[in-house]
Structure 1
Amino acid sequence: MLGMPSHPLPNSSEQARADTVIEVDRIHHGFGGHAVVNGLSFILTRGSIACLLGPSGCGKTTVLRAIAGFEPLREGRILLQGAVMSSPGFAVAPEHRRIGMVFQDYALFPHLSVADNIAFGLHAMRRGERAARVGEMLALVGLAGSGGKFPHELSGGQQQRVALARALAPRPELLLLDEPFSNLDIELRERLSLEVRDILKAQGTTAILVTHDQHEAFAMADEIGVMHAGAIEQWDSAHNLYHRPATRVVADFIGQGVLMPGRLASPHMVTLELGTLQSREPLGVPPATTEVDVLIRPDDIVHDDASPLQAEILHKAFRGADILYTLRLAGGGQVLSLVPSHHDHALGERIGIRVEVEDVVAFRRG
């Protein structure tokens, strides 16, 4: 992925590179008077996996459908391999875009065998070439020997593998995945997302995933665009979205945490109930700002019996290897702390904590 720094996003046309597969350039889309996508831009380079991540109604699936050619544009352009696919009043038909798509409901043909489903888009090939490609795809997705079965004979995870094989079989320039794991249970969803990433990387496939599940996004994508109200709030790596969110929207949506009131002591220093935090970089707040909210993640609060800083346990959520504690400080502020589960404390108990914030994130109060 051609790296796009934190909000605000630059003009995508300034970032074009020779290995660009798709360029989405300031696109707008809506229904009647309701705007769904507002000036959204990004670029994806060959072999990269991107994700549009956000809650229901943020416009992410509409963007995917516009890329596929199913939705028209009011403004902007979508280019594939440098050629315009969509612009206001113009659209290349979906079947001529060399784009593969994996749907949420798999969309397999129930009356066709697994092999025939995979071969569906390979009509231009000779019979022997088509059979060889189907066999290659079955092996790729771990279903060798299952070509004669029908979709109803497969599990949900196996059906999703067939859908992926069918989409990859014609060697598309770009693969789109629309909430591909949402019908699967959590354990299978997590495992399959990692396996699908390995498959896509092995094939050198350029792909865009749409999901509301940040764990899927983190598992699969090289870079992630967090969407809100039809626009991208931040396009970045999973690490930066979690540790260096550019906006409150991203801070609220990614991971867990609390925003604690604080006061800037200098461009690099902020004081709050937990103490004074020092930032390596200037805190990115507007000039003359003094009152701020500081993002504190559960992993910033470390359980330490020897620490003089004490907090009362208000709530606890057992998560197997860890317990997520909600803690109340002496001054009334609350924080979260993720603690190994062998440190099992009772509600109302006071425990020692220390603060280890690697990246200080602050927003202007309000």
Structure 2
Amino acid sequence: MAVSVDGQWVTFSPPAGAVGLIGDVTDWRKREPIPVVDGAPLRLRLPRGAWVEYAWVDASGEAFADPDNAQRSLNPWWPYPRAAVVGEYARHPLWQMPDATRKGTAHRLTWEGTVFPGTRRVIVYTPHGYAGGPLPVYYVQDGVAFYRTGKLGDVMDRAAEAGLAPGAAFAFVEPGDRNEEYYLNPRYLEFLTTEVMPRVEGELVTASVRGLWGASLGGLISLFLGARHPELFSRVAAHSGAFIARPGATREGVIDTTTAGEWLLDELRANPPTHLTTSLDTGTLEWLTGPNRRMAGLFADLSLAHQYREYPSGHNWVTWREALPEAFLYLQGG
């Protein structure tokens, strides 16, 4: 048996060749693997209701999937994560509804970028029956993942059909080099305003208000730009925002999301984004739980319009997909 659950205790039985366990409990590669000693099972205490993703590592340090566990994750980055559920992972009522019968329309845009090189792609999703007129427009980072894996368009369709919230338009913006574009890069605003918005607004939708939406680094750039530009944006959704960041900070040649400090927190303390309505959330099994709690605490201390939620899972699409309904309902006034 690959994984067994007894209350809050989860036992991971290592397969042949496993020398360590990684996953949400180690923030994947951010901490050392939990060692396997003489092939003995690993017993960990985890929160009730948690969804926990993991993988084994071999003697060469390569990760591999648990061959005895068929429960895959929604992880679009790696093929090896498997999942264990500590009891039952609660689903939002919107996800338990049938698919909406009245679905929105997807418009696909492609062009050669100028601010950042390469082919750029955006999917613009408008509500069922939209024939013009003002409505909120959300610019969504990591667009394909939010469209296909997160199914944010489906969230809107279900909420609108159930009468829980009005519809909106989503511009699902696919990144080129997301580390470069999202790590507190002010040029990303130039990309949005000179390349994306002119192709979306006027051509396909009329914006009544604009919002930014993203997860991890996408949440970081969304709150960074949304806070700085009240003339453009009034709403932000940030899931597991990568708020350990500082302009230009690198570690071993890559962007630093572990030791750079919480620069944006200090920036917003000095310059509160009073114009924003913000939805923040995070998993409780990830290294960004503390920074997101502190960001939400700052918003509460400053009496800024916001909501904050936590989910018993990690830095992954199970957490973020579960968070989408409440983020949408809050920002849309549902």
Q: What TM-score, normalized by structure 1, do the two folds share?
A: 0.27
Query: Is the radius of gyration larger for structure 1 or structure 2?
Result: 1
More strand by share: 1
Q: What TM-score, normalized by structure 2, do the two folds share?
A: 0.29
